[in-house]
Amino acid sequence: MIDSIDASFSIEWTHRLRFAQRAFDVGNEIDTLIEELQPVRILAVLDKGLADTNPEFIEVLDAWRGREERVCGDVLVLPGGEDSKNDLNAVNSVLESIDENGICRRSCILVIGGGAVLDAVGFSSSIGHRGIPLIRVPSTTLSQGDSGVGVKNGVNLFGKKNFIGVFDPPFAVVNDSTLLKSLPDEHWRAGLSEAVKVALIKDTALFEEIERNADALLQRDTAKMNSVLQKSATLHLHHITNGGDPFERLEARPLDFGHWAAHKLEQLADFQISHGDAVAIGLAVDIRCSVALGLLENEIAERIISLLQKLGFPTSHQELKNPILLDGIEEFRQHLGGTLTLLMLEGFEQPIDIHALDVNIVRQAIEKLM
C-alpha cells in the first residue's frame, strides 16, 4: 500500500519584456509576439482613459485591427483607474467577452491600459478557462516601470486593495513609450515614486540619475523618463526572475517598501489619490520611521524626501492622522501571511527587514511629515 507520494516538478517560463516605440506598426513588437504565440483568436481590451485622450493611438490600433484578422469583435473598453478594480464589473465584462467571442486557451487577450485595468484584465485572463495567454501593453509610467512587468493580478474587495488575485506571469509585456504622451501630470509622475523606491533598495546610480534629472522629468522630458522607466522595469524584472521568490512564498517583499501605508491611505482617501502619490507618501512615512528607529541618518532621509517633493509628489496627507491608518500594518501582515515583515532603510542599497513596528514610532514619523 502506498501512503504518500511527493513528486516535484518545475516549469520553464520566459518572461518577455519589450521596450518599443509604436509597437503596433507593421512588423514591430506586437506583430512579432503574435507571430511567436500563434493565437487562434485575439480579444483586445482598452483603458477608457487612454481611448478618450489619445486619438492618435486609436488610429494606430484601428490600423492594426484592420490587418490582423484574428482580432475578434469590437475592442472591449473598460473604465480606467481604480473603478476597474473596486468591483467585479470589469472582471465580469472580460469573462463575458471571452465567452461571447469564443476565446480559448490557445487564443490570447491583448490589454492596453494603466495598472488598474491591467490588474483586472490579468485576473480575468487567469481565471477564464483556467488561463488564457495575456499580452500586456502598459500605458502609464507606473505600469511601464513597475506593475505591468510583474506577475501579480487582482482586484479590490471589502474595500481592501488586491484582496482577490493570482500570481500569473503574462506571455509578454510591451512598454510603448509613445503611449505616455496623453497622460495627465499626476500620472506622468506616478512611475517615478516606484522608481525611487526600487532605486533606494537596489540601484543608487538610478537614484542619482533621477535626482540629476528631476527638473527635466517634471517638465515631461520623454527621453529622460524612458531611461528611468527602463531601468526601473529591468530592476523589477530581475527581482522577479532572479530573486528566488517570484510568487512571494516567503515573508520578505522588498518591492513593497512604503506600501503598507500607501495601500491604507488609498483606501482612507476613498481611492481619490493615485497609487503613485500614495507610494510617495508611504515611502516618506517609512523613511521617517527608519530615522525614528535610529537606522537611517536624518540627512539621507531629507535628501530622499526633498527629491520626492521636487518631482511634484505630496509627502503628507490629512489621512495620515487618521488612527485607522495604523490598521494598515496588521492588514499588510495578513495579506503577506506569517510574521510581519516590513522593509526599512539603513542607507542607500541597505534595506533591513523588521518584524514589529511600534505605533509611537509611526506617530513620531508622521508628526515630522505634517
Ligand X SMILES: NC(=O)c1ccc[n+]([C@@H]2O[C@H](COP(=O)([O-])OP(=O)(O)OC[C@H]3O[C@@H](n4cnc5c(N)ncnc54)[C@H](O)[C@@H]3O)[C@@H](O)[C@H]2O)c1
Residue 187 is a binding residue for ligand X (CB under 6 A) = yes
Residue whose C-alpha cell is 493580478: 153
Residue 119 is a binding residue for ligand X (CB under 6 A) = yes
**Cβ closest to ligand X, residue 41 vs residue 187:** 187
In whole angstroms, the minimum distance from the beta carbon of 74 to ligand X comes to: 18
Number of shown-chain residues binding ligand X (CB under 6 A):
34
302-312 as b/e, with b when 16 or more CB fall inside 10 Å? Answer: eebbebbeebb
3-class DSSP state for residue 239? helix
In whole angstroms, the minimum distance from the beta carbon of 278 to ligand X comes to: 9
CB 221 within 8 A of CB 192: no
DSSP state letter for 75: P
Q: Between residue 22 and residue 51, which ones bind ligand X under the rule CB under 6 A?
A: 47-50
DSSP state letter for 71: B
CA distance 186 to 312: 8
In whole angstroms, the minimum distance from the beta carbon of 342 to ligand X comes to: 17
- Reading the block at residue 322, the C-alpha cell is 487618521
Q: Between residue 139 and residue 178, which ones bind ligand X under the rule CB under 6 A?
A: 139-140, 142-143, 146-147, 150, 152, 161
Name residue 18's beta-bridge partners. Answer: 174
Report which of 53, 312, 47, 307 is spatially closest to residue 189, judged by C-alpha positions.
312
Residue type, 46: L
Q: Between residue 339 and residue 368, which ones bind ligand X under the rule CB under 6 A?
A: none
CA distance 127 to 88: 13
**Cβ closest to ligand X, residue 82 vs residue 286:** 82
CB under 6 A: which stretch of 112-120, 223-231, 300-308, 337-345 binds ligand X? 112-120
CA distance 213 to 222: 12
Over the window 301 to 340, marking each residue x when it contacts ligand X by CB under 6 A and - when it does not, the resulting string is ----------------------------------------
First to last CA, the chain: 68
Choose which of 115, 128, 133, 170 interacts with ligand X (CB under 6 A).
115
**Cβ closest to ligand X, residue 39 vs residue 165:** 165
In whole angstroms, the minimum distance from the beta carbon of 65 to ligand X comes to: 18
In Å, what is the CA distance from 229 to each residue of 108, 138, 140, 193? 26, 12, 10, 11
Q: Between residue 265 and residue 284, which ones bind ligand X under the rule CB under 6 A?
A: 274-276
In whole angstroms, the minimum distance from the beta carbon of 93 to ligand X comes to: 15
Residues binding ligand X (CB under 6 A): 47-50, 53-54, 80-82, 85, 113-117, 119, 139-140, 142-143, 146-147, 150, 152, 161, 179-180, 182-183, 187, 190, 274-276
